[in-house]
Each structure stands twice: as C-alpha cells, then as structure tokens.
Structure 1
Amino acid sequence: MFRDHTCGELTIADAGKEVTLAGWVQKSRKLGGGITFVDIRDRYGITQLAFYKDQNADLYEEGNKLGREWVIQITGMVQERSSKNKNIPTGDIEIVPSAIKVLNTSEVPPFTIEDETDGGDDIRMKYRYLDLRRNSVRSNLELRHKIAFETRSYLDKLNFLEVETPILVGSTPEGARDFVVPSRMNPGEFYALPQSPQLFKQLLMVSGFDRYFQIVKCFRDEDLRADRQPEFTQIDCEMSFVNQEDVLQTFEGLTKYLFKNIKGIEVSDFPRMTYADAMKYYGSDKPDTRFEMKLVEIKDLTTNKDFVVFDSSEYVGAICAKGCAEYTRKQLDELTNFVKRPQIGAKGLVYVKCENGGVYKSSVDKFYNQEDLAKWAERCDAKEGDLILIICGETEKAQKQLCELRLEMGERLNLKDKNVFSCLWVVDFPLLEKDEELGRFFAKHHPFTSPVPEDIEKLETAPETVRASAYDMVINGVEVGGGSLRIYNSDLQKKMFKVLGFTEEKAQAQFGFLMNAFKYGAPPHAGLAFGLDRLVSLFAGLDSIRDCIAFPKNNSGRDVMTDAPSVIEQEQLDELCLKIDIKKD
C-alpha cells in the first residue's frame, strides 16, 4: 500500500500515530541548525515533513536532496508543530519521517506550481497537466464534479432519465457552423458533431421518454471569447406534457438547489423580464441586474435645439452614474475612447455633471440651457453629485453601446460583486430575426421553437412581430441556460419552415425524420439546456470558462498541449477521399 492517509486529513488528534503518505514535493525550507522542512502535496492538501539532523542524519541528508515535484513516499510519526499554520487544515501537525522512498524524480517545472503562479496563460495551457496540480485550478474541477453530481441527483428524484444521444450526426447548416467529420465508408459524405442533442431529445419525447436529461458535449465552430469554447458541456433537458411555467419552475428549482447545496446560498424566486424590457432598460437580452443604472430614453427632451447629432438620431439614451460628477476631463476622455472602440462602435459620448446647488455642466451646454438639462436629470433620477452619460444613434445599436458603457461603469464603481448572485428569466423573445442582405428570416433560437399561441396567426402576415415561447436564465449578466416550448404539430412546423424560406424538399431532406415522427403522436413538449461550463465559472467567480475545463482550447481554438488541430498524413486523406489544396501567401 502506497499510503494509508492523504496529505490533507491529519490533525492534532492523530499525534503519536505512524502513518504513510505519498505525493509531490511542494517546496523545502532549510532553516539551518540541522532542520529542514519539506511540504508534501496531493489532491487533498499539504502536510509538513520535519527532518532533524540530530535525530536521523541519514534521513536529514535525503530530505535535503528532494527537488520540487519529486514523487515520494514517506513513513513517519505524527507530532504537534511548534509553529502552527492556521491557513491549512493540517497546520497543527508535522510528520517526522522514519523512512523515505523516491518514487520518481522531476525536472524543474516551467512555472511555479502554486496558487499565485508565475506562469502566463500560454505556458500554463502548454503544460496543463502541471497547471491542474495547482489548488486553484483543481478546486474548479472539484466544483464542476459537485455541480454535475448534484444535478444528476436532483433530476433523478424528479424521474428524469439520462439518455445518451449520438455524437456523429447529420449537418444542420441553419445553426452555427458545424465541425464536420468525413466518412471513410461513405466517400464524399460527412457527419457533423452535434451543436446540441436538439433533434434527438425531441424524438425521445415522441418515444414516450417524458423526462430526459444528459450532461453532454456539444460542438460549434464559432469565434471564441471568454465564455465560449469550440467544445463545451450542456446540462440538456426535455419534458413532455408541460407548459412554459412547468419548465421554469423545474429548472429554477434546480438552480436554487445547486446554490443551496454547493454555495450555501438561499436564492429568492427569479423575476421574469420580457425581452423588450431587457433591451429597453439594459440594452441586452442578458442583463446584469446586480446594480441599477438603467437605460433612460430622452429623445423627446433633446429635439429642436439645433443640435444636429441628437436631432438626426433615432434614439437618444442615458445612464446615471451615482456620485460621479467629480470625474475629471481625463476620466471622461477615457470613457469616450472606451465607447468609440471598434468593438463598441459609438461615435461619441455626451455628459452632464449634476453639481452642487442644482447647477448642470455639460459637454453640450452650447445647445441646451439649465432648464433643459434639469429635465434630463429629472428623467434620469439624477441628483447632486451624479453624472449623466448619453449615447445616440440607431435604437438597437445605441442601446447595446449604452449597455457596454453601463457594464464598464459597474466595473469602475465596484458594483459587480462576484459574491452576489442576481438571477432572472428573460421571456418573450422575438421568434425570428431578418437578414436584410439576404432578405429572409432566420430563427432566433432554432426552427423548432413554438410561437406564442396568440401570435401564430401573424406568422404569414407580420412574422417580425411574432414572439417565441422561449426563455433564458440569466445570472449576473451571463446567459446560463435557455430553451423553449417546441412545435409538435406537423402543420405548424411546415408553416415555420415556409417562413424561414425552406422548400418542402429542403425541409424534408434536413428534418424529414423529425417531421415524420410527429405524424405518430408527438406530445406537447419543451426543454432547456444549461451551459455547465458557464454555471461552474459563475459559482467559482471566474471571468473565463477555461479554468473550469480540464483541457481547454486557447482563443484561437487550438490545444497548445497536444498541438491540435494538426496536419494529417496524405495516406489518411486518401482513405477519406479528401484532397487538401491550401494556398499559402
């Protein structure tokens, strides 16, 4: 037996016991006077080893030879430490070794394997197996395990069945870009990796599996960012004989359960917000409601004052930053440059300072008098000492720009507390969005989302006004999960495909198996999928999902550890009947 205890469990109650531990050398400290301390680490914690020259000179010399990350086994006596460490569970004790065995040596690691490491992102990703030894990264994966475990436990009690669905599927070009897999046995034909198990879970409902879930890998060939990876994990769920409220209650219950059992936090009932209100007041369909600072439309208060910028704009909106009237010119210029960044795209920023005595100082006071500015302040509920920030332009674009500015101000004013969790449902999304260049509609969620019943008659006459029976769960400005009621009537599904520009032949070719299944008694059904990676990162207080994934890709979609994707041999390409012709500059 390599060990009879772990490195994280011994306490003062174990003093006087002989124990055997195995693990990695974290660090050693030579104090002089014939004393050396060595920390041994495993997944469970750290225990101090104490080598005393006057007690065992040979072992003392062996202890001094141990290098960082060497794998060792020690046997020794547990004793109370003279200088205790209250920061670790084993800080009251140490082990005086009576035997030591080096199981393996180690080269000097390319970065320090400690919580506060000196390794940058690239080097840590290249040596991810070493990065995973760090407490901070390992604890994220332990948290991930707990969330997955508790999710399974909760859903099992509600009679959900975990069913695996295929990984090699047909391509569905209506969604995001697919990762495709060539078929050797079917030359010239391709599988796709699933963007979600959507079609299969609906077929399971037709099959009578009325409550399905799966913790499943999904794949999307999209541009990456902090909360996206080319492969990600969903808690995927579907239910039969339910309405929207049934689904919201079920998964709000799951989320509350996870907060209580993992974070020890009681979360109140989730408010509901329509998509229209989310855009109007927050400029986003995933609003961060940890703080106020809502968007306020002031277009009607700004017209006919000879300020062409406002007069010619479809929308003029403002936010009120409490207590920021003392912002300097430099700080205001920083905010202006922030909103003018290409990824935000505003042309400029107007400000109004609400100073003492009811005096207003503005970047546009050449056009607007004190009475005008007072009306703006009243609309924005701005008091003395507050700062009003204004952006104008096309409605949707300007709202999104104000949203980015609002989030930036929330960051600057420390309003985005990671220990506070503000949860809500966003409902009544538009069913469709129009691509003006292509002159056709696309499904905002997917083609199987059911319209709100009272809007169905508008599908052919005013499709842009039709609302979806869709819902997103949002926590702290992050879309954690989303879903919808599904179309289960073949006639309505055909109508939906027609609005999306599908011919009957195209719809049959891509989704015929689902439409045929609906002919055999499809029940009313609905579903939802949580992003497990996003949920874990929220619980862990991370800004990126990468550190809650064991082996993530970098921002270019590469695995720098295994050097994937990579070129494959011509022989493999020939077997797959593929010809690669990439022209390099």
Structure 2
Amino acid sequence: MNDVLGDWKRSHYCGQVTAVEVGREVCLMGWVQRRRDHGGLIFIDLRDREGVIQLALDPDRDPEAHGKADRVRNEFVVAIKGKVSPRPEGTVNPKMKTGEVEVEVSDLRILNTAKTPPFMLDEYTEVAENIRLKHRYLDLRRPAVQNNLMLRYQVTRTVRRYLDGQGFLDIETPVLTKSTPEGARDYLVPSRVNPGTFYALPQSPQLFKQLLMVSGFDRYFQIVRCFRDEDLRADRQPEFTQIDCEMSFVDRDDVIRVMEGMIATIFKEAIGVDVSLPMARMTYQEALARYGVDNPDLRFGLELVEISDLVASSGFKVFADAVGNGGMVKAINVKGGATLSRKELDELTEFVKIYGAKGLAWVKMTEEGWQSPIAKFFTADELAALNGRLDAQLGDLLLFVADSFRVTNEALGRLRGHLGQRLSLAKKDDYQFVWVTDFPLLEWDEEARRHVAVHHPFTAPMDEDVPLLTTDPGKARAKAYDLVLNGSEIGGGSIRIHDQAVQSQMFELMGIGEEEARVKFGFLLDALEFGAPPHGGIAFGLDRLTMILTGSESIRDVIAFPKTQKATCLMSEAPGVVDEKQLRELHIKLAVKPK
C-alpha cells in the first residue's frame, strides 16, 4: 500500500472541502462516483464516507493528469492533488455540502480499477434488496446506507457517554453459555472437547446481568449482540444488538427516570429532536381498552370503543352471540372514511382475518343514516345509542369486530395501525413515547396446559399481588415496563425477583419442577441465597431504535451485514455446509442432507 501511495497523505475527506478552503492545496482520496467529459474539460465527482466533491481536470493545466482522468471509470479508486477554487458563476449546487467549490486537479493517481458495478451507487437509484444484499460491500458505499450506519455509531457513542455519567460500568458477559430455552429457540454450538454437549448463543444477557447485581457491581450496561432462532419480519434479525442495562437498589420509577434521560439525550444529539420528559404512561389494560394492542401508536386517534352493552340484546345475531359467549364487540370510527370503496372494505376484512377475526362489519354514515348490510338488524334507539357512543357523523366509516377478548382487541388494534399508515395519519417526524406498565405476570398456554411468563420468568410480581401467586396466579401483575415509540416497542424491562423462594414459586407455576429448575437455573437459585439486592433493568433494541431515527422501512437498512428473512446472508452465503472431518470432530451425524 505504501508503494501505491508513496509520500501522498490525505489532507481532507471529500465532504469536508468547503468555501473556507478556497485557495488551499488539498490531497483527496476516494471512489469515482461519476465522470463527465465536456469536450476537453473533464469533471469527476469523487466520493468518500463524508460526501462528494467535484474535481476539474483541464488539459492545458496538467496534460498528464487529464490523460489519466480520460481512463477513469465509475468506482475506480483514485488520489488527487489540487487547489480548491470557487465554482464558476451559475454552477453552484446548493444541495451539496461542497456545492460552492471544486478542486482544480494538478496530479492524479489511479490506486485501483473497478469492474462496472451491478447497480448505480448514488442515492437516487432504486435497487432490488436481494441485489443490494448480494453485493453489500457496494451497497455500503451508497450515501444513504453510510449515513444510517454513521448515525447508529453516534447513538452508541451517546449511550456510552450518558451511562458513564450515570455511574454505569460496561461489563462483557459470555457469548458461549447454557441453553435455557424460554420463548424463542436457541442457536446451539456443539462442544468438541465435551462430546455430546452444546453451548447456546445468548438470547439476552439476562441471567448474567442479574448475577452482576448479586456481585455488587450496582450499575451495569453493555451494547451486546444477542441471538434468536425465530421466524423473521421486517424489524427482526436472527442476530441483533441490545443496549442492555441493570441497576441495584431501585424501583420501577428509578429505572424509568434514568432511561428517559438516555433516550432524550440520544434524540437530541443524533437528530436534534427535543423529547418532553417525563414521558406518558399507560397501563397494559388501558392500552388494550383504547388501542387493542400493548404497543400503541399515539400519533393519531382511531381509538377502539367497546359497544358490547349496546348490542348484547340486539337483533344482529353475530354481535349478540359474541357477547353472550363471553366475548366482546368493539368499533373504530374512521373520520371521513365513508369514501372507501367496497373493494377496499373487502381488503380490510381480509386483513382482520389474519389476526383470527371471522369478519369485519362496516357502516357508512350518509345523509340517509346507516348504509350497511347490518343496518336492518338494529332499532332506531339502538342506532342512536351507537351513533352517540361512536361520535358518528356524516361521512364517517364505522368498523366493527365481534369475537373473543383477545381476537377482538388484536384484530381491531392491528387494523387501526394499518389504517394509520394507509391513510397517512402518522407523521414520521412526530415522536410519541409511552411507557406501558402493569402487564400480567403470567398467561395460560392452552396447548402446553401451563402458565408461561408474559415477559420472562425472572420478572417480579407487584408487591400487593404476591398472595395471588398462591390463590389466582393469572391475575397477578408484573413489575414490568415497555417503552413504546410510534407503535414499536423499543425497550422492555422489569424489576427482577431477588427472593429465592419467590423465584422457585415462579418456576413451579410455570410447570418447571424442582429438578428441572435446578438443572436449568441452579446457579441463579444458588446466587439468590447469598444476599441478592433488589434490582431491575431494561434492554433497548438498538437496531429498531436506529431504524426509527433514520426513518428506514427495514431493519436491514441500519445493519452493516444483515440477514434475509430466511436468516441467510446472500453475500457470504451463510449458513454453509461443513465437511465431514469437522462433523466427526464434533461427534455430529446429519439426519438431513443439506440442499
């Protein structure tokens, strides 16, 4: 490399050359984004991570450099020396940071050639994602993707500085650990030196950070890689990054207060947005009642309204039967939505079926009153009562779901979010935070015929609900809290169980017997008997948070080398096949031949 560069030393990044540098000699290095030949005078747009600068090569000024520029093509790697000059009148580009200047090149070196890339690398070209991921090293040259990753770095830098100021210690926890599957599947790693045994890659550092509290470290954090072998969506990856925190001698309000300060600092320093503190709070029950889901988007209305009492005795059998069978009926009023076509309403009906609803009833408010196939089943008094509760006005669209408590809330809640996006009710630059609290501690799993933890089995019950663990565990509430931003959960945490007897009781309630608990969690149970302090914490999804900060549509746009929705890397072709020798060393025999 030294032979190629010789004594050339870069003086500036391309994007740092502004009018302040006019008259100075500079040495720049980067990639050729575009070359333009204007009948003798050649212009090159040179790009690096900080931006683009225009180079001007005049054959009269330096014939040798001009001759080299004639051979240059897109994505060649070049170094240049020259003088910064103002752009000629009428050629200033106000959209560029360097748009007032250009560099009059006096010397040019071609450091490396390049094949023609499979797609243009400017920010205006639309490219299929599979092509981008196959050539990710090229995609990462694009300004939009580079800006995403630089903002991500700014977030992590801010987090470290803020938490350091709050007395947190950055402590690493093991990546090769023990499999304790609860929820998502573990990624397993076979042990060569301990035949027949496996490590697991951590889904989170949960147990280790609790042990650090037992150890007296008091305040821990880590920006940590985690792994879950689960089905993927646009905002999920098999390996992801958490901002992971734990604190001793705290209650819920202490954790929330410190973390609100961190999030506010991130938004101020990363994108210049002031976040109002304290943030809003809402109980889990209120979130379900008003929005149908526990991650509500507060940027728009469309709140769910329960009408079970008004339709329980109505002539519309679908509504009456739902209430009579212990279910419920809810509705949302889409203001001005009566203009939706029948085809659009059918599409909404298919949408709620994804979440288990059997159908979607609709009413258009017209000058004649209700326009709907279900209008004939209601009396005038019932229609008046429904109109009053739903604030139904001329031009509105009323949408109803009647089903079980769970299905009604989720189907209509998801429909609310879908309509918010479809009708452009939510602005990207409007950031609405809400803490959702008082979650159920446990929920009943019909298939497994046992209770499962809503968050995880180390979450403490509310103090006043501890007796319910013996009498009615399904009604116990958790000291858990999620931070929701614009309909996405960006962080979740809880106060942990620090009493060994309560932890053992939780395992028992979840159908984990004493022997199984000892095998899976014996080291934690032992540690809780040696003076564990009250403690709690939280983990934020760095990828998802960065996705929102950058306004990206996919989490893959804020990760340097992401996986596809099938958990594969198109660039490196991972996961891959290993040879028989490696398998024999690991004492593994394949039951299924890889494709």
Shorter-normalised TM range: over 0.9
Structure 1 counterpart of 2:347: 334
Say if 2:519 is the partner of 1:527. no
Amino acid across the alignment from 1:86: P
Shift of 1:369: 4.1
1:324-473 pair list within 5 angstroms: 324-340=337-353, 343-356=354-367, 359-473=369-483
Say if 2:3 is the partner of 1:18. no
CA contact (8 A) 1:2 1:73 kept: no
CA contact (8 A) 1:377 1:388 kept: no
Structure 2 counterpart of 1:74: 80
Shift of 1:348: 1.9
Distance 1:371 1:37, change over 3 A: farther
Tell me, what secondary structure is at the counterpart of 1:257? helix
CA contact (8 A) 2:62 2:107 kept: no
CA distance in 1, matches of 2:183, 2:446: 18
Structure 2 counterpart of 1:279: 288
1:132-171 pair list within 5 angstroms: 132-171=140-179
Per-residue CA deviation, residues 440-459 of structure 1 (Å, 9 max, x unaligned), is 11111111110011111111
Structure 2 counterpart of 1:490: 500
CA contact (8 A) 1:427 1:469 kept: yes
CA distance in 1, matches of 2:165, 2:594: 57
Amino acid across the alignment from 2:56: A
Per-residue CA deviation, residues 336-388 of structure 1 (Å, 9 max, x unaligned), is 23333xx33332221122234x7232231121244422321211122222211
Per-residue CA deviation, residues 171-190 of structure 1 (Å, 9 max, x unaligned), is 01223210000000000000
Structure 2 counterpart of 1:270: 279
CA distance in 1, matches of 2:552, 2:373: 38
Tell me, what secondary structure is at the counterpart of 2:37? strand
CA contact (8 A) 1:451 1:467 kept: yes
Structure 1 counterpart of 2:4: none
Distance 1:66 1:243, change over 3 A: same
Per-residue CA deviation, residues 462-492 of structure 1 (Å, 9 max, x unaligned), is 1111111100000001110011111111111
CA contact (8 A) 1:320 1:387 kept: yes
Per-residue CA deviation, residues 22-77 of structure 1 (Å, 9 max, x unaligned), is 10000012233x22211000111111011223444443332222111000011112
Shift of 1:584: 8.1
Say if 2:567 is the partner of 1:560. no
Counterpart of 2:208 (choices 186, 200, 205) is 200
Structure 2 counterpart of 1:60: 66
Structure 2 counterpart of 1:113: 121
CA contact (8 A) 1:2 1:22 kept: no
1:313-324 pair list within 5 angstroms: 313=322, 314-324=327-337
CA contact (8 A) 1:242 1:524 kept: yes
Identity of aligned residues (%): 50
1:64-103 pair list within 5 angstroms: 64-82=70-88, 83-103=91-111
Counterpart of 1:310 (choices 307, 319, 331) is 319
CA distance in 2, matches of 1:17, 1:244: 57
CA distance in 2, matches of 1:421, 1:533: 17
Tell me, what secondary structure is at the counterpart of 1:400? helix
CA contact (8 A) 2:61 2:106 kept: no
CA distance in 2, matches of 1:353, 1:146: 49
1:164-183 pair list within 5 angstroms: 164-183=172-191
CA contact (8 A) 1:270 1:425 kept: yes
Give ranges in structure 2 of 5+ residues lacking alignment: 1-7
CA contact (8 A) 2:84 2:103 kept: yes
Say if 2:240 is the partner of 1:232. yes
Give ranges in structure 1 of 5+ residues lacking alignment: none
Stretch of structure 1 that moved more, 527-536 or 61-70? 61-70
Say if 2:140 is the partner of 1:127. no
Tell me, what secondary structure is at the counterpart of 1:312? helix
Structure 2 counterpart of 1:50: 56
Tell me, what secondary structure is at the counterpart of 1:405? helix
Counterpart of 2:256 (choices 248, 259, 269) is 248
Per-residue CA deviation, residues 83-110 of structure 1 (Å, 9 max, x unaligned), is 1111111111111111111000000011
CA distance in 2, matches of 1:384, 1:370: 17
Shift of 1:403: 1.1
Shift of 1:432: 0.7
CA contact (8 A) 1:559 1:565 kept: yes
Stretch of structure 1 that moved more, 132-141 or 367-376? 367-376
Shift of 1:78: 1.4
Distance 1:498 1:338, change over 3 A: closer
Tell me, what secondary structure is at the counterpart of 2:440? coil
Aligned length: 581
CA distance in 2, matches of 1:411, 1:392: 23
Stretch of structure 1 that moved more, 575-584 or 20-29? 575-584
Stretch of structure 1 that moved more, 179-188 or 115-124? 115-124
